[in-house]
Chains A and B, each alone.
Chain A
Amino acid sequence: MNTPTKISIRDLSKCFDGAALNALEHIDLDIPANEFVTFVGASGCGKSTLLRTIGGLEVQTAGELRVDDRAVTGPGIDRAMVFQHYSLYPWMTVMENIKFCRQLAAHTRDRTSSDVEAASGRADALLRLMGLSAVADAWPNQLSGGMQQRVAIARALMGKPEIVLMDEPFGALDAQTREVMHDLIRYVHKLEKATIVFVTHDVEEAIYLGSRVVLMAPRPGRIDTIYEVPFGDQRTQDLKHAPEFVRLKREILERIRETSGMKTDLEQLQRLSGAQVTTDTDTTTA
Chain B
Amino acid sequence: MTQPLASSATVALQSERTPGLNLTARARPYMRPAEPTAPKTSRRPSNLWQVRAPISRRAYWVLAFTGLITPLVLWAMFAAWGGMDPTFLPAPLQVLEKTWFWATENDLLGDMGISIYRVVSGFMLSAVIALPLGLLIGSYRSVQALLEPLTDFVRYMPAVAFIPLVMIWVGIDESAKISIIFIGTFFQMVLMVAEDVRRVPAAQVEAAQTMGANRRELIEKVIFPSAKPALLDTLRITMGWAWTYLVVAELVAANSGLGYAILRAQRFLQTDTIFAGIIVIGLIGLITDQLFRWGHRRAFPWLYLKG
Contacts and interface: CB of A to CB of B under 8 A. Distances in A.
A67 to B, nearest CB: 13
B286 to A, nearest CB: 29
A104 B210 CA distance: 11
A100 interface: yes
A49 to B, nearest CB: 13
Interface residues of A, number: 34
A156 B228 CA distance: 24
Interface in A77-95: 77, 79-81, 83-91
Contacts of A89: 204, 222, 225-226
A88 B206 CA distance: 11
A56, A103, A107 — which one has the most chain B CB atoms within 10 A of its CB? A103
A141 B213 CA distance: 23
B288 interface: no
Interface bin, chain B: 20 to 34
B300 A77 contact: no
Contacts of B222: 89
Contact of B208 (A100, A105, A142, A165): A100
A30 B204 CA distance: 29
Contact of A91 (B201, B209, B217, B226): B226
Interface in A148-169: 152, 155-156, 159, 165
A75 interface: yes
Contacts of A55: 206, 210
B53 interface: no
A76 B225 CA distance: 23
Given A81-B210, A85-B203, A91 B300 contact: yes
Given A90-B302, A91-B300, A141-B302, A104 B213 contact: yes
B302 A139 contact: yes
A156 B208 CA distance: 10
Contact of A57 (B210, B212, B213, B300): B210
A77 B206 contact: no
A237 B2 CA distance: 41
Interface of B: 201, 203-204, 206-214, 217, 221-222, 225-226, 228, 300, 302-303, 305
